[in-house]
Chains A and B, each alone.
Chain A
């Protein structure tokens, strides 16, 4: 049983467009929600993270929106660039244990 469900599986966006990836979770004990970016042949790298006491966090072109009541969170990539083409993973954890449960990943392709 997957703890974190991620959609879509793949996404094609034109350069300059907005990429949106969604995740949902069930365990209300989760209190840390990071997003990871992975390029082919590399390990995932932390992109941005949020805690449930805020509804939105923005870092540059990347924004996490968090809806605690719906148990959903999403990643928005504004002004998407070809260099953003990668696989994105959402994750959730209970900080005291710091074990991450990952979504299944979204392969983003930004077309020039």
Chain B
């Protein structure tokens, strides 16, 4: 009963490097989301998906790309990392209308130096 699994848990990148964060859920949820959490800012939506093959921009999408090739996986890519992308990234999933609440992963702490 894993729920939402994020990999990796920690990562340090150099400015300009690229990386992909993986989110996997085993609850057959249709909707998936990527948020970033910064001190004093709460959680801000980066991108989201309402089903396999669909993606949409959230509040802070610049510098990120996403893909949802399989229903259970949602990938977040950083093409050219910048120090401003230092943050904790959370993936979440939900299954409206049966359940509107989000199930979150445990987060990925990313530092860009």
Q: Using CB atoms and an 8 Å cutoff, list the residues of chain A in contact with chain B.
A: 2, 4, 6, 9, 32, 34, 36, 41-46, 49, 89, 93, 95, 98-105
What is the bound-complex CA distance between A93 and B35, given in angstroms?
15
Question: How many B residues touch the partner, as a band?
Answer: 20 to 34
Cross-chain contact A34 with B101 (CB below 8 angstroms) = yes
Contact indicator per residue, chain B 76-107, by CB within 8 Å of chain A (1) or not (0) = 00000000000000101010110011111111
Instruction: List chain B residues, Cβ under 8 A from A42.
Output: 106-107
Instruction: List chain B residues, Cβ under 8 A from A95.
Output: 96-97, 100
Cross-chain contact A99 with B100 (CB below 8 angstroms) = no
Cross-chain contact A98 with B104 (CB below 8 angstroms) = no
Cross-chain contact A100 with B102 (CB below 8 angstroms) = yes
Q: Smallest Cβ distance from B29 to chain A, in angstroms?
A: 11
What is the bound-complex CA distance between A89 and B90, given in angstroms?
14
In-complex Cβ contact of A43 among B97, B100, B106 (8 A): B106
In-complex Cβ contact of B48 among A9, A46, A99 (8 A): A99
Q: Which residue of B lies closest to A90 (CB)?
A: B42
Instruction: List chain B residues, Cβ under 8 A from A2.
Output: 42
Instruction: List chain B residues, Cβ under 8 A from A93.
Output: 100
Cross-chain contact B96 with A43 (CB below 8 angstroms) = no
What is the bound-complex CA distance between A101 and B40, given in angstroms?
14
Q: Is B110's beta carbon under 8 Å from chain A? A: no
Q: Which residue of B lies closest to A100 (CB)?
A: B102
Cross-chain contact B58 with A43 (CB below 8 angstroms) = no
